[in-house]
């Protein structure tokens, strides 16, 4: 019987349980070549809601992923493991991404080509934005893409 899974799917199957055991969501796994060895890039995030993955937690999941890779040996030859979070430049494309961006300043691109910007107050079937003291809603299905805008000042809750 032929194996119906790609190398990327098999690698994801090895890594995902370790990430989930650490209470995180596996965003992506990519393997690239770097000279004579491979680079395995594992991108993890919180499963839902606002907040971030601290460096201690990232180190814990890195150790767990490394152990899983050592045990299963799914990558031929030498490899370098990189475990990281998506960062602020990740496009917001899934409902989970928008829920994670609540309280952040975002720019949305809508189906009609227009853009809307503001602080994301709520993310459900409608996205609620606040800008200049006014709230507006955008149906989530009208959003083609979103992006978190980098802020260099702190909001009232002390978050960047």
CATH classification of the domain holding 103: 2.30.30.100
Residues of the chain with pLDDT under 70: 1-5, 154-160
Residues 85-98, buried b or exposed e (16+ Cβ, 10 A)? bbeeebebeeebbb
99 and 80 fall within a common domain: no
Count of domains forming the chain: 2
Where in 35-78 does DSSP place strands (E)?
Answer: 37-46
Residue 82 to residue 56: CA distance in whole angstroms: 15
Same domain, yes or no: 144 and 105 = yes
Which of 84, 113, 129 marks a domain boundary? Answer: 84
80 with 102, same domain: the answer is: no
For the stretch 112-139, pLDDT in tens is: 999 999 999 999 999 999 999 999 999 9
- Host domain of residue 107: 95-148
Question: Are both 12 and 79 inside the same structural domain?
Answer: yes
Its pTM surpasses 0.85: no
């Amino acid at each position: 019987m032929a194996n119906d899974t790609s190398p990327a799917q098999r690698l994801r199957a090895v890594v995902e349980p370790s990430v989930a055991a650490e209470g995180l969501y596996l965003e992506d796994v990519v393997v690239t070549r770097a000279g004579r060895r491979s680079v395995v890039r594992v991108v993890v995030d919180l499963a839902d809601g606002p907040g971030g993955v601290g460096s201690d937690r990232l180190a814990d999941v890195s150790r767990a992923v490394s152990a899983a890779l050592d045990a299963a040996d799914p990558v031929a030859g030498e490899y370098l493991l990189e475990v990281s979070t998506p960062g602020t430049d990740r496009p917001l494309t899934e409902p989970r991404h928008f829920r994670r961006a609540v309280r952040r300043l975002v720019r949305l691109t809508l189906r009609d080509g227009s853009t809307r910007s503001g602080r994301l107050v709520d993310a459900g079937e409608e996205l609620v934005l606040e800008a200049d003291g006014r709230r507006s809603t955008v149906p989530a299905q009208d959003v083609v893409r979103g992006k978190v805008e980098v802020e260099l000042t702190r909001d009232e809750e002390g978050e960047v």
